[in-house]
């Protein structure tokens, strides 16, 4: 008998989880890019966020936008 496992994908477009775990490196790179743009006035290195559907790319970009808003008064 084959038992079908439930899909790990849970639709929730841009809904932030309780804990945004495992993204520290990406967030640190984004913080650095924001600082370069704001404080040094030059174009920061590009950040490319890729991954399969449902891994949190949009949530991550929302977190970066929120940080930019809080730290540098940028709005989304």
pLDDT given for residue 4 in this prediction: 75
Looking at residue 19, what is its pLDDT? 79
Q: Contact at 8 Å (CB) between 74 and 68?
A: yes
Quote the CA–CA distance of 63 and 60 in Å, as a whole number.
5
Q: 9 or 36: whose pLDDT is higher? A: 36
For the segment 17-42, what is each residue's pLDDT rounded down to a tens digit? 777 888 999 999 999 999 999 999 99
- Among 74, 63, 70, which Cα is nearest to 37's? 74
**Alpha carbons 10 and 30: distance in angstroms, whole number:** 26
């Amino acid at each position: 008998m084959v038992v079908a496992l439930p899909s790990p994908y849970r639709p929730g477009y841009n809904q932030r989880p309780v804990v945004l775990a495992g993204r520290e490196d990406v967030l640190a790179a984004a913080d650095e890019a924001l600082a370069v743009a704001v404080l040094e006035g030059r174009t920061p290195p590009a950040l490319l966020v890729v991954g399969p559907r449902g891994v949190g790319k949009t949530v991550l970009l929302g977190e970066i936008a929120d940080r930019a808003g809080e730290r540098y008064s940028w709005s989304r």
